[in-house]
Amino acid sequence: MDIRSKIGIRLKELRNEKGLSQEKFSFLCELDRTYIASIEQGKRNVSIVNIEKIAKAFDMSVYHFFNSDLFQ
């Protein structure tokens, strides 16, 4: 599995844990909903700036975003 797919899976996992729709989550991190959807589908090469926005929207550090067995 490539890194884009892993990031997408992790994003969806965390978003679902918080009970957030893609639309609500995209508002929190100030990114377009279609962009969030394409990340979750593993279609985007996400910049570190946007990964930081995503982590902040989850109220966590980038380290904690990547602290998952997916990235071992």
* Boundaries of every domain in the chain: 3-71
CATH class of 3-71: mainly alpha
pTM score over 0.85 = yes
- CA–CA gap between residue 38 and residue 63 (Å, rounded): 22
Q: What is the dihedral of CA 68, 56, 61, 66, to 10 degrees?
A: 20
Q: What is the dihedral of CA 3, 7, 13, 16, to 10 degrees?
A: -150
Q: What is the pLDDT of residue 37?
A: 98
pLDDT, tens digit (0-9, with 9 covering 90-100), for 14-64: 999 999 999 999 999 999 999 999 999 999 999 999 999 999 999 999 999
